[in-house]
Each structure stands twice: as C-alpha cells, then as structure tokens.
Amino acid sequence: MEVAATYGEESWSSVSDESGRAVFPELFLPPPSASEFVEDLDPIVLTVFSPAFVPMRREVTLNSIHPSTVLQLLPKKRGYVSPLIDAVEGGRFQLPGIGFVQVDPGVLHQDACLRILPVPSESSSPNAISGDLTMQYWVDAVDAGGAEVAALPNSLGGITLRVALPELPKAYNGTEREWSHYSFDAAWALMETSVPTVDESAGVISFDVAGGSNLVAFEYRTVSSVPACEYGPWELLLDPRSTTTPLNWGVSVSVYCGVYANEVSVKIGAGETKPTTVQFGGEISGELGWTAGTLFTKASAKLGMKISGSVSNGTATTTMAEASKQTPPSGAVNGQDQTLLTPPWSCLTGTARYGLTRVTYSASARRTCTNPDGTIQSELIPLGSIDTPGELTILWDVEVDEDCGEGCEDASAPGDLPN
C-alpha cells in the first residue's frame, strides 16, 4: 500500500512491506524536549492508499523517542452491496443495519450496485474536518461481479443516504448543533460540503453522498444568551491511546513443542523506577494554573502509580509497584502437565519474550457546571500526552511445528496465548 507523510511544508511517500510497515528515512523527528509547548510542533499528516482498503488520513504527533504509530485500515469488502440498480430508473433500497439509500433516475453512469461501508471510529479520519465527527461512510460502485466501476457522479446530488443518529449528548442551554457533511474523493481531496437534513427528535439524518469518504460532523453555536455557569475545578482526564512493546525486553526463552526450554522469572521490585515521557502545553501553567507537581500528583492518582519529573523538558520517572511473571510450574506454555499436552498447544515452537509494555495516554482537562435548567455543560482543554510503563506481559513469536507429533500437521496456533 502507498503511504504519504506531510510534515510542515515537506512531503514524502513510501510503499509498505508485506507486514504493512512503511518507513520514512528522510523524515527528521524532533526530541520530546524540542519545545516546551506541544502546539509549537506541527503534526504529521499520514494518508494511506490501497485498492482493497478504505483510504485513511490521520494527523499524528511523533518524536525521536516514539517514532512510530499504528493505523487500522478497513477492507472495502466489508461494505454492504445493494442489488443491481438500473441507471435509468434508479430506486430506493434498505441497507440492513445502516438505513435507506435513494438513487434518483439517471444519476448513475451505468447499471451498478452501491457498496456502502460505515467506518468505525478506530478507522475513521476525524482530522480531515472541523467539529465533532459523528459518522463516516465509504461509498463506491461495483458491478454484479464485485469489480469497482466508475458509475457514480462527480458531485453531490441524486444519491441520498438516510440513517439513524447515534446517541448524542444533550446540547447545553443556549446552543444548538450545526451540522455539516463533507465529501472527499479517494485521494482525500475535499470535493464538496453540504448541510444534512437532521431530525434529532426522531433520531434520523439524511444527506447526499458521493463516491469516496463521506463525513458528517456538528459544531455548537450560540442561539441565546444564558446566565454565566459556575464551573467546578478542573479534572485531569487520561485516555489510553496506544500500547506498544519496547525494543528492550528483559528475558527471552525458547519454546519447543509447547514446552519452555528453561524456567523464566521476571520481577519488578517495589520502588524501582522506569523512564516516562511527557508532552504538555502551556495551558497547564496558564489557563489551568497547575504546577508540574500538581499535574503529576493528579496523573499518579489516575494511574495508580507514582510519577514525578519535569514538564518543561518532557522527562519523568514512574515508581513501580512490585510485580512478577514466570513460567508455569509445569513448564508448558498453557500451564498443563507436559504429559497431557495436546494439539495445538503441543505443536508450538518459537520464542517467548517477557517484559514491560508501554502505554501512551492522551491528556486533557475538563470542568463542568450545572445550568439553571439542570443541564450539564463542560469545557475540555487538550493538554498533550504522557507515556508510561504498563504491565509485565509475554510477547509470543511461535508457530505450529508439524514435526512435534501427531495432530500437528493440521493444527492452527491458538488465539489465546497466555500474557
């Protein structure tokens, strides 16, 4: 697949290997301490294209300490395919689990089936638009054999999708939602915007769609003046964004036919410290009025571990609680007696590596207040991120070995290896 990266005014392109990994050796990433303020660093815009997957565009913030990220792509073949639509007559069709689609007469360039795919949040491209992304749909056309065809018009109009609204928070007093629909082509170029027809009381929304990615979002706008709301104190929010496995693992042990080559024991001592990386903006000492100590105290309470360090240079340490992990007393990978091992467990050969994961959290501050009518409104300020050590775990690199004995020729590796 093709991957493009844009950083500031420079752009690069790369082709992924068989594992889906794309590398940009020309891209220089700054260290976490390059700037005191996260806002001063431009995000990297990644766009991914592959004929079999829905195109993705995502903004990410990387640095020399954590130079990689994982994007989850969505296969186009998961989309719902309508019956064959007559280009002259058009038609109205129900999309199970989605809603209805109306195709006006004469809109399609040829007889074709519509393929419509709801894009979940983990595979969506929210950074392509402003406002709160509510839904995203991929739309293309295929023939009766499933091959993509150029049957869709190049602009909005004539193909209308009517779907149920997801559950939304109540608009706070004095505001209402202002909805927008954005249509992007397969290269993530914005083609058109439109205003959907929304009935929030009935929970439905209708909007025209075009071939490519169709994103629907809303923003709040003020419709009347309301008395000032007395906000409570700011609360720190930490949302786990990604979990990675470090390059330096504590112990590596061979596994042959489901049995460890030797006993393994990995232990984290109480009070042991591990490096931690933080990237926080100027709102901490500015609008929030927090010190570094206040921030780390709040983060420690949220995560159940002691974190201390410096916000300005992006370095900190985490004091660990005692933890350990070891091979089962039986010596077998699933804890079963070795004489009772059966396929597929008795067929696994390879390596088990013991060590700590690392978890990256998105950090933000939120405060709320209650309006006279009882509704709750809130303010949210993005702060940056914090990268901390996670849990002791096992990283498996094993496969079925047909030479391990009877039943291994047709065995498949189990999906629930111990961790």
pLDDT in tens, 270-327: 888 888 888 876 667 677 888 888 888 888 888 888 888 877 777 788 888 888 888 8
| Listed range (11-15, 35-39, 120-124, 339-343) with the worst mean pLDDT | 35-39
pLDDT of residue 311: 74
Which residues, listed in sequence order, are joined to residue 370 by a DSSP beta bridge? 376
The CATH T-level fold of domain 76-222 is: Chondroitinase Ac; Chain A, domain 3 (2.60.220)
Q: 256: which strand partners?
A: 259
DSSP for 29-60 reads ---GGG-S-GGGSPPEEEEEE-TTB--EEEEE
Residue 38's pLDDT is: 46
Strands 10-15 and 259-260 come out as: unpaired
Residue 40 pLDDT greater than 60, yes or no: no
User: What pLDDT score does 276 carry?
Assistant: 84
DSSP annotation string for 221-243 = EE-S--PPP-----EEEEEEEEE
CB atoms inside a 10 Å sphere around CB 55: 22
Say if strands 259-260 and 56-60 run parallel, antiparallel, or are unpaired. Answer: unpaired
75-132 per-position pLDDT tens digit:
999 999 999 999 999 999 998 888 999 999 999 999 999 999 999 888 888 888 888 8
Start-end of CATH 2.60.220 domains in the chain:
76-222
203-232 per-position pLDDT tens digit:
899 999 999 999 999 888 776 555 667 888
Q: What is the pLDDT of residue 283?
A: 64
Pair 163, 204: CB distance under 8 Å: yes
The CATH number assigned to the domain with range 235-404 reads 2.170.15
Closest CA to 393 of 269, 255, 243: 243
Q: Which residue has the higher pLDDT, 243 or 78?
A: 78
Distance of CA 373 to the CA centre of its chain: 36
- At 228, which amino acid appears? A
CATH 2.170.15 segments of the chain: 235-404
The pLDDT of residue 54: 93
